[in-house]
Amino acid sequence: MDTKHKWTPYYFLALPSLMLLIFVYVPIFQNIGLSFYQWNPFMEGKNYIGFQNFINLFKDPIFYTALKNNILYVIISVVFQVGGGLIVAAILEDTVIRKLSPVFRTIYFIPAVISTIVIAILFDFIYNPQIGLLNEFLNLVGLDQLTKAWLGDSTTAIFAVIAVSQWKSIGYIAIFFIIAIQNIPNELYEAAELDGAGRINKFIHITVPRVKEITFVTTAVTVCEAFTVFNEPYMLTGGGPGDSSQVLSTYIYKAAFTNNEMGYAATISTILLIITLIFSIVQLWLFRSGKEE
C-alpha cells in the first residue's frame, strides 16, 4: 500500500498544511519582521527603523505595567485554577460526595461555556459602585468600609479583572483533574485506608502524585492563557483607568488600533511570542523530566 500511494498522503495533507502555513506560521515570521518598521494604517509604505521599536519599548513604563499585570495574572491563575481546581476535584471525587458530584461538577463548569463578553458585561454590573451586587453584599454583611469602585480604581482594577477569569475557569480546570482522579485505581485508596490513612494523607500521598501529568498540562495551559489574556481586561476596563490594568495583549491592541503605531504593536507581539516560547520550552523540559522520574 505504501508504494502504491506514494503521493496520496500529500493530497490528504495539502489543504490542512496550507491553512497552517498561511494563517499560523507565516504570520509569526512576518510579525518579527514588522517589528523593525514604523508605520500607521493611513500611510503608504513602511519605514525601516532597526531596533528603535525595541529600544522605545524597553523605556516604556506602560510595557512594564502590562508585564507586571500579566505576571500577577499568571500567579493568581495558577494558584486558583490549578490549585483550586485540584482541590475542588478531589472533594468532588471523594466517596462521601460522589452521588451529588455530577450536579456540582456541571454547575461549576457552566461559566466556562458562557461567552466571555456576557460574563464581562455581567460583572461590570456586579462591580458597579452604585447598584453592584458586590458592594451591596459588603454593605449587607457590615463591611461597608471595603466598598469601592472596583473597576474604576487603579489599585483594584487589575485584581477585579483577574477575579472574573478565576470565576470563569476554576470549574473548567477542575474537570481535567476529575478525569485524572477517576483514572486512579481505587485499590490504592483502599490499601491506604487499610493502613489507616485519613483524607488529607490520601490526597497528598496518592492523588497529588498520580495527577502530576495533568497538573503539568493544566499549568501550561493556564500560564499560556494568562500571558496572552485579552478578553477580560479589554472588556472590563479597556486597560484603564490610566493604563493601570493594561496587559500585553490589550497593549498590542491599543498600540495598533488606538495609537495607530502598527510597528510598535508588532514589537510587543514579538516580545509576547518570546515569552510564550520560553515558557513552552521550560514547561516541555519540566514535563519530560517529570515523566522520567
150-209 positions binding other proteins, by CB under 8 A: 167, 171, 175-176, 179-180, 190, 193-194, 199
Looking at beta carbons only, is 75 or 97 nearer to other proteins? 97
**SS3 per-residue string spanning 36-72:** CEECCCCCCCCEECCCHHHHHHHCCHHHHHHHHHHHH
| Part in contact with other proteins (CB under 8 A); list of ranges 57-65, 74-82, 148-156, 262-270 | 262-270
Distance CA 83, CA 90 (A): 11
* C-beta of residue 235 within 8 angstroms of C-beta of residue 116: yes
Selected binder of other proteins within 40, 47, 106, 259 (CB under 8 A): 106
Q: Rule CB under 8 A: is residue 10 a binding residue for other proteins?
A: yes
The cell for 222 is 493556564
Candidate list 133, 138, 188, 192; residue touching other proteins; CB under 8 A: 133
Nearest to other proteins of 62, 273 (CB atom) = 273
Residues pairing with 38 in the sheet = 47
Phi then psi for 260, rounded to 5 degrees?
A: 55, 30
* Residue 97 in the binding site for other proteins (CB under 8 A): yes
> Shortest distance, CB of residue 291 to other proteins, whole angstroms?
13
Q: Tell me: cis bond preceding 241? Omega within 30 of 0 counts.
A: yes
Q: Tell how strand 37-38 and strand 47-48 pair up.
A: antiparallel
For the bound state, the minimum distance from the C-beta of residue 134 to other proteins, rounded and expressed in Å, comes to 10
Q: Which is nearer to other proteins, 113 or 155 (CB)?
A: 113
Choosing from 201, 257, 258, 282, the residue that interacts with other proteins (CB under 8 A) is: 257
Whichever of 23 and 155 has its CB closer to other proteins, that residue is 23
Q: Could you tell me the maximum CA-CA distance found in the chain, to the nearest angstrom?
A: 79
SS (H, E, C) 274-287: HHHHHHHHHHHHHH
Establish if 110 lies at the interface with other proteins (CB under 8 A): yes
292 forms part of the interface with other proteins (CB under 8 A): no
Distance CA 227, CA 249 (A): 8
Is residue 272 near other proteins by the rule CB under 8 A? yes
Q: Which stretch binds other proteins (CB under 8 A): 61-69, 75-83, 149-157, 264-272?
A: 264-272
- Considering only 157, 169, 253, 254, the residue that binds other proteins (CB under 8 A) is 253
Nearest to 92 by CA among 104, 82, 80, 81: 104
